[in-house]
Amino acid sequence: MPDRPLWTSAEIVAATGGTLSGAAFETRGITYNSREIVPGDLFLALKGARDGHDFAAAAFAAGAAGAITEHPVEGGPSVVVADTLRALEALGMAARDRTKARRGAVTGSVGKTSVTQAIKAGLDLAGPSHASIKSYNNHIGVPLTLSRMPRMTERAVFEIGMNAPGEIAPLSKMVRPHAACVTTVGPVHIEAFADGEAGVAAEKASIFEGLVEDGVAVFNADVAFAAVLDAGARRAGARIATFGSAAGCDARLIDFQPHDTGARVRAELFGRTIEFELAQSGYHWGLNSLCVLLMLDALDVPLETGLAALSEFQPLAGRGQTLTVHAPGGDFTLIDESYNANPLSMAAGFRSLGARPLPATGGRRVVVLTDMLELGDQSEALHEGLSGPIEAAGLDLVHAAGPEMKRLYDDLPGSRQGLWRETAAELAAEAAMLVGKGDIVMVKGSNGSKASLIAKALAALGSPSSSDAPRAER
C-alpha cells in the first residue's frame, strides 16, 4: 500500500465533528492504551475504570502524534470532542466509508476468533486486507478495528461478540458487512438470557441486521436453533448460504479424516465435490473450514486461494497449540486449549483427543479441566454432563480444578479420577503429577478460571521441541 497516513487531524475533525487544539498532525496507527503507543500513533483518551486523559502525557512522551480527547491536554495536539467513545465510532464508520473494501463479520458461541483469523488468512492471499486482532469484538474493539483500516484495503473481516442481549446488531450495523456468519450456537453466556440458548441464537442471528443490501448470511445448519438463524437471515433480506452435514447445505461435510499433521476433508461446495487438507485435526474444523470457504466466496476470494490458506492456517495461542514436552520422566504431548471453554468446545476437544493415536510405547489420553463460566443456573448440569462425552471419547484420566468441575469429577468412575484441586494454581503446582511418558494431555477451561496456569506449568516441565510446529486441536 502507498505510504500514506492512516489519519490526518483534518480528517479526524471532519469525521468526529471535533475541534483541533494545537498544531495539525498525521497518524499512522491508533490505540487507547498509552503503553502500546508506537511513534506516530493517535492516542484515544477513553473513559473507563480509569480516565484515559490521565495518560495523555505518557502517550505523547512515547511518541503519539496526536490525541482524541474531551478537553485540551498537555504534551501535544488533540482533536477535542464531546465523547471520545462516540468519536471512535464515528472514526470507524468514516474509515469504512472511505474504502471500497468488501467486509465480512463473524460471530458464534464457539470458534469465532479462529474462524475470523482463518478468513483473514484467505483475504491476505487475495490482496490488501484488514482484520480484527486478538478478540477485539466488543463496543470498543469493533470501532477500533474499523478505525485502523487502511485506505487501500480491498477486503476485511471483523469479529463481533457479546455478553448480553442487544450487543451484536449495533456492532454489525457499524461494520455493514457484505457477508456475515454464525459459526455455531451453544450454551455460552446463557446466564444473561431468560430464554437460555434460544435467546443466544436470536442474539447471534442479529448479526444479519447489519448486512448491506443483497448481503450473504452464512450459518451452521446443524445447530438445534438453525431455524432461528434462518429466520433472522430472511428478515434481513439476505442471500443465505448454509454449511453442515446434511443434504441441502450449500457446503456439506462428507468426511473428515484426522492425521498426524492435520486432517483430510471431503465436502460438497455448491454441488461440487472437493477434497482438501487442513492444518487442524480437531473434528469441529470440518465445519469451521466450510464456514470459512463460504465467507471467502462471498467476499470474492477464489476457492483455490481459500484452500491454500486453510492448508497453512496455524493455531492461535491457547486454542489448540500442540507441542512435545521433553520432561525428565519422558516425553509427552501437550495440547493447549486453555483460552476458553464451553460445553460445545469441550465435547469437540474430547472427541479430537480420543481420536489421536497413542505412541507404540504406551501412554494415556489425559484431560486437565478448569471451570466453565457464565453458565448461570445450568452450570451444575452442564458440568456434570461432560462425563458422557468423556466416556464416548474413551479418555483415560481426568484432572480437574474448581468448584464447578468438582461436580464432574465426582460423577466420574474412580478409574478416570486423577487429581482435583480447588484452584488452577494449586493444580499447576502439582504439574509433574498430572502426566507420564507417552501421554497426550489436553488442558481446557474458561480463561477466567486460569487454565493457562496449568498449561504453562506443564510446558515448563521440559523444553518444547524446536522442531514441533504448533498445530491446532480446536
Averaged pLDDT, 68-81: 97
Model pLDDT for residues 9-30, shown as the tens digit of each residue: 999 999 999 999 999 999 999 9
What band does 48 get if pLDDT is binned at 50, 70 and 90? confident
Interval 223-228 mean pLDDT: 95
Confidence of residue 463 (pLDDT cuts 50, 70, 90): low
247-271 burial code (b ≥16 CB/10 A, e <16): eebbbbbeebebeeebbebebbbee
pTM of the model: 0.84
Residue 316 pLDDT grade (very low, low, confident, very high; cuts 50, 70, 90): low
What does the pLDDT read at residue 163? 84
Band the pLDDT of 225: cuts 50, 70, 90. Answer: very high
| Per-residue model confidence as pLDDT tens digits over 243-294 | 999 999 999 999 998 877 788 999 999 999 999 999 988 888 999 999 999 9
Residue 387 has pLDDT above 80, yes or no: yes
Q: What's the whole-number mean pLDDT along residues 175-194?
A: 85
d(CA 143, CA 152): 18
Contact yes or no for 387/412 (Cβ under 8 A): yes
Residue 2 confidence (pLDDT) above 70: no
- DSSP string of 172-219, one letter each residue: HHHH--SEEEE----SSSGGG-TTTHHHHHHHHHGGGGGPPTT-EEEE
Q: What residues have CB less than 8 Å from 208, skipping those under 6 apart? A: 172, 180, 215, 217, 232, 233, 235, 236, 238
Cβ atoms 349, 309 nearer than 8 A = no
- pLDDT tens for 98-148 read 999 999 999 998 889 999 999 999 999 999 999 998 778 999 999 999 999
Rounded Cα gap, residues 241 and 250, in angstroms: 6
Which single residue is written with the C-alpha cell 455478553? Answer: 163
Position 470 pLDDT exceeds 70: no
By the 8 A CB rule, do 244 and 252 touch?
yes
The answer on pLDDT for 342 being more than 90 is: no
Confidence of residue 209 (pLDDT cuts 50, 70, 90): very high
- Angle CA(237)–CA(160)–CA(112) in degrees, nearest 5? 100
- The DSSP element (H or E) to which 75 belongs, if any, is none
Q: Convert the pLDDT of each residue in 431-445 to its tens digit.
A: 999 999 999 999 999
Up-side HSE of residue 64: CA atoms within 13 Å toward CB?
A: 29
% of the chain exceeding 70 in pLDDT: 95
In the chain, what are the helix, strand and coil shares in percent, each to the nearest 5?
A: 40, 25, 40
What residues contact residue 345 under an 8 Å CB cut-off, 6+ apart? 110, 111, 284, 337, 444, 474
The closest of 282, 352, 344 to 313, measured between CA atoms, is 282
CB contact at 8 A, 257 and 270: no
Rounded CA-CA distance 353/350 in Å is 5
What whole-number distance in Å separates Cα of residue 375 and Cα of residue 109?
Answer: 12
